[in-house]
Amino acid sequence: MYEIELKFLVPESRLKGLMRQAKVKSSQVTQMAAHYYDTTDQQLAQAGIGLRIRQEGDAWVQTIKAGGDGIAARLEHNWILDNEQVIAMLDHNELMPDLSIYKDTVIAPALADFKLKKLAKNLTRLYVTDVQRTTRLLTEDGSNEDVSDNSIEIAYDYGEIIHGTDDTQRDVIQEIEFELISGELDFLFSTTKTWCQRYKLCLSTVTKAERGGLLIKGQSHSPATAADLSALDIDKKISMPAFSRAVVHNCLLQILPNSSAVIAGSADNDHLLQLSIGIKRLHTVLQAFDGFSDEINPDWSAILQKTATLLAEYRKLAYLNTHIEPMLQRYGAPIVNWTADIDAIKITPMAVISANDFQIMLLELIAFTMSDTSLENQADKPATNNLEKVLTKYHDTLLRAEQYLEEMYGESDHKLENESIIKAQHKLHGHLQDLRYISELVAPLYGKKRSRRWLKRVIKAQKALGQQSDMTDYQQYYQNKALSDSTALYGAGWLNAALVTREKATEKHLNKFYACSVFW
């Protein structure tokens, strides 16, 4: 069966109030000890599979989780074990999962790439969890006595993940989960939105199994998640509402893992970069395909735009400090201190992503991707009927921006120092970026042969212009810094010279792109 569950991290400042709601008279407190299994090189984890044996009160349950939508739904299989056998195996340190029970179950396809007998021999206990779980059943009418048509289990977990062979290595667990037990998805999302607003909860897609795997590797966070277009599930018969949900879902698969890492404390540039790209992709999608669904909320685009802007300034200054400055110093540049400039922003990526409007929007977007498309007015209209119009609109906008920039180039003798040209260049890059994101998402509906060459050129052109635009921004940062700190003059001059070479390479890629025939 599939479990539909949303998980949140709990801020310390809201914990007391949240616990008053979790620990009501009808709530139950259960101590749970879980043993998690995988191969030493974590083959199951790499396949997105979690395998555990957990004591839940007086019972021992073997559970495997796999697949799902990558966000809120996962395939789950539970098997109640014989208590006496489990205790006997524990006494001899021989407790191991029984994989033979999965041969004829719904979980079998997820294990199809494994030879179960060989896998069973290579399994080992990698880590354990020791958790106190407080559960409360919430029904639509507010009653906690019986399961009505709409019911949710709220589970607050507090405890530790412990390394399987070195119990000095531990990580704290403090999270709350909302699982739909029965009824409509709307009830799950309306409930979680209320709790999210009240207690400033932050969505997390990081499972206990993933955190255990990180503990084994000695890592705090999983690597940054880039866009995965192979996970886009569309075909030529897909309707307009279904297409809009599919492309939004694909963007969320990039945003949520990276936002989860930032919420958990990561300041890694890769997480910030991929999160920013995911947000920009989603903003583009909502703008381009707003007419494909009646359920798209125009407020989402405004929130995404604000979030992208706040992240961009911090990310560029942080990258300047951690990458550009060390590079310049290797070329003999004097040290320039950017710490005060970063502190002056006064808002961290964690604060930006923790913002309640952003978190509520994520919940609404997840709900949107899981909602019923058949209820929409355009449910019978194929997406392919309108894609050419969207692509042509964005392509024409790009060409107008390119023509405008060329006219400005012709009127200026100092291209690299003209603020109007710099703004026009950034705008051209924005249009090129939009067209790339849209084209990548719709290309599967046109066939690889028709789109491969064009996509290759648009990606190279967008990357080249993006690198040039970023370098221009970095040069401007040093130029402005030099007004109060003469040590920044070296960096301003070096980047200005480097831009001349970069501009030539960008022009080459752009010309190749403009000469390429469109695929639609």
What is the rounded CA–CA span in Å between residue 26 and residue 14?
Answer: 22
- Determine the pLDDT at residue 104: 85
The pair of three-digit structure tokens given for residue 118, joined into one six-digit string = 């060989």
489 pLDDT more than 80: yes
Interval 293-352: pLDDT, tens: 999 999 999 999 999 999 999 999 999 999 999 999 999 999 999 999 999 988 899 999
**Which amino acid would we find at residue 313?**
E
- Determine the pLDDT at residue 2: 81
488 pLDDT more than 50: yes
Contact 461, 508 (CB under 8 A): no
Residue 156's DSSP bridge partners are 134, 176
Mean pLDDT across the chain: 93
- Tell me, yes or no, if the pTM score tops 0.95: no
160 pLDDT more than 90: yes
Contact 164, 128 (CB under 8 A): yes
Contact 52, 65 (CB under 8 A): no
Contacts by 469-476 with C-beta closer than 8 Å and gap 24+?
Answer: 469/425, 469/426, 469/429, 470/316, 471/495, 471/498, 471/499, 471/502, 472/416, 472/422, 472/425, 472/426, 472/499, 473/316, 474/316, 474/320, 474/324, 475/416, 475/499, 476/422
Specify the range with the lowest mean pLDDT, choosing from 237-251, 411-425, 452-466.
411-425
Interval 201-250: pLDDT, tens: 999 999 999 999 999 999 999 999 999 999 999 999 999 999 999 999 99
Interval 35-81: pLDDT, tens: 999 999 999 999 999 999 999 988 999 999 998 888 998 999 999 99
The pair of three-digit structure tokens given for residue 509, joined into one six-digit string = 């890629």
Q: How far from 443 is each of 137, 285, 518, CA to CA, in Å?
A: 45, 14, 11
143 pLDDT more than 60: no
Smallest CA-to-CA distance from 69 within 370, 516, 467 is with: 370
Residue 143's DSSP bridge partners are none
- Determine the pLDDT at residue 317: 94
Domain map of the chain by residue range? 2-219, 227-354, 383-520
Contact 183, 193 (CB under 8 A): no
480 pLDDT more than 90: yes
- Determine the pLDDT at residue 147: 46
Q: How far from 202 is each of 122, 197, 215, 355, 462, CA to CA, in Å?
A: 37, 10, 22, 9, 33
414 pLDDT more than 90: no
50 Cβ contact partners less than 8 Å away, ≥ 6 residues apart: 36, 44, 63, 64, 65, 66, 207, 208, 209
- Determine the pLDDT at residue 438: 98
- Determine the pLDDT at residue 296: 97
Greatest Cα-to-Cα distance within the chain, rounded to the nearest angstrom: 86
What is the rounded CA–CA span in Å between residue 192 and residue 198?
Answer: 10
Q: How many residues does the chain have?
A: 520
Contact 232, 69 (CB under 8 A): no
Q: Where are the alpha helices (DSSP H) in 264-355?
A: 269-288, 298-319, 325-330, 339-345, 349-354
Interval 353-365: pLDDT, tens: 999 999 999 999 9
The pair of three-digit structure tokens given for residue 190, joined into one six-digit string = 């309306």
Pick the CATH number of 2-219 from 2.20.25.10, 2.40.320.10, 1.10.357.10, 1.10.10.10: 2.40.320.10
